[in-house]
């Protein structure tokens, strides 16, 4: 009886995996996220090396180790689903490298990009958890626990900067708009990579998670009221 139950359990697990094998959209999405986690690891590691404050450096080292675990975990999931991880990540190398190469602005801009970047990553993972196989969803749960720490830390750093003055909040609102522009210019909302996210399933939830999450974070920081002014200034800078 026990051997029959184990056999049935094994068959269910195999069926769960086989359902997702050769799913090109899933491979693309996991490839994008896996490479994104690698870039997050590199970014946290660089901050740990450059930060003078010992406590902050230790925190970034911890985050870097977690991001590397995330990267390796998504690579492992790709392999388990029958994909070639390197091939799955390759289409996103240039766009993500381009996006991260544009970091390094002023202190407020960097803090805004860090906070919103963590938030967007978490929103993507919450959506992804709902449209993937059980094993990948279980792994995503562990990633989200880490990401919540990262986002909280990034928010604290940003609040320390923008609570100084109204001008600081306006600069943060401008940085938030610029981040959206650079994200779309690096990847492109009409690109094949983004369309893979939409094709994977529940596209309406994906859009809802991203849009409401972005606005909610700005509102919680008290930056929403600066939106129109930031838009005008951004337009003047682009002209």
Q: How many CB atoms lie within 10 A of CB 166?
A: 10
* Residue 161 within any structural domain of the chain: yes
* Residue closest to 147 by CA, chosen among 30, 238, 40, 54: 40
Q: How many domains does the chain have?
A: 1
Question: Tell me: the pLDDT tens digits for 141-170?
Answer: 999 999 999 999 999 999 999 987 888 888
Is the pLDDT at 234 greater than 70? The verdict is no
Is the pLDDT at 233 greater than 50? The verdict is no
| CATH number of the domain residue 42 falls in | 1.20.1260.10
Inter-axis angle of helices 166-186 and 134-162, nearest 10: 140
DSSP class of 131:
T
Is the pLDDT at 184 greater than 80? The verdict is no
Q: How confident is the model at residue 97 (pLDDT cuts 50, 70, 90)?
A: confident
Joined together, the tokens standing for residue 29 give 């999405």
The domain of 118 spans 22-238
**CA atoms of 103 and 118, how far apart (whole Å):** 14
* Residue 2 within any structural domain of the chain: no
Contact partners, residue 60, CB within 8 Å, separation at least 6: 44, 45, 47, 48, 51
* Residue 181 within any structural domain of the chain: yes
Could you tell me if 81 and 17 are in contact, meaning their C-beta atoms sit under 8 angstroms apart? yes
* Residue 69 within any structural domain of the chain: yes
* Residue 207 within any structural domain of the chain: yes
* Residue 6 within any structural domain of the chain: no
Q: At 225, which helix (H) or strand (E)?
A: none
pLDDT value of position 183: 73
At residue 206, what are phi and psi to the nearest 5 degrees?
-60, -50
Question: Tell me: the pLDDT tens digits for 6-28?
Answer: 443 443 344 455 555 558 889 99
* Residue 12 within any structural domain of the chain: no
Alpha helices in 102-133 (DSSP H): 107-129
**CA atoms of 149 and 223, how far apart (whole Å):** 22
* Residue 139 within any structural domain of the chain: yes
pTM: 0.80
Question: Tell me: the pLDDT tens digits for 32-66?
Answer: 999 999 999 999 999 999 999 999 999 999 999 99
The larger pLDDT score, comparing residue 5 to residue 207, is at 207
**CA atoms of 12 and 56, how far apart (whole Å):** 46
**CA atoms of 211 and 83, how far apart (whole Å):** 30
Please report, for residues 10, 65, 77, 150, 238, the alpha-carbon distance to residue 29 in angstroms, rounded to integers and kept in the order given: 27, 22, 12, 22, 32
């Amino acid at each position: 009886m026990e051997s029959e139950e184990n056999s049935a359990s094994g068959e269910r697990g195999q069926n769960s995996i086989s359902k997702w094998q050769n799913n090109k959209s899933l491979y693309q999405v996991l490839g994008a996220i896996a490479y994104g986690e690698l870039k997050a690891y590199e970014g946290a590691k660089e901050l740990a090396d450059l930060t003078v404050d010992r406590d902050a450096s230790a925190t970034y080292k911890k985050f870097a180790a977690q991001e590397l675990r995330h990267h390796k975990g998504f690579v492992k999931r790709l392999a388990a689903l029958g994909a070639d991880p390197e091939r799955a990540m390759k289409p996103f190398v240039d766009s993500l490298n381009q996006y991260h190469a544009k970091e390094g602005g002023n202190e407020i801009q960097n803090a805004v990009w860090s906070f919103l970047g963590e938030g967007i990553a978490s929103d993507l993972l919450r959506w992804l958890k709902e449209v993937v196989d059980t094993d990948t969803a279980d792994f995503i749960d562990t990633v989200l626990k880490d990401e919540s720490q990262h986002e909280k830390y990034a928010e604290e750093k940003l609040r320390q900067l923008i609570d100084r003055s109204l001008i600081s909040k306006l600069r943060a609102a401008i940085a938030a708009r610029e981040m959206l522009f650079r994200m779309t210019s690096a990847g492109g909302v009409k690109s094949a990579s983004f369309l893979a996210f939409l094709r994977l399933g529940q596209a309406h939830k994906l859009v809802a998670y991203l849009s409401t999450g972005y606005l909610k974070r700005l509102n919680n920081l008290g930056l929403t009221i600066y939106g129109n002014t930031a838009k005008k200034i951004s337009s003047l800078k682009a002209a």
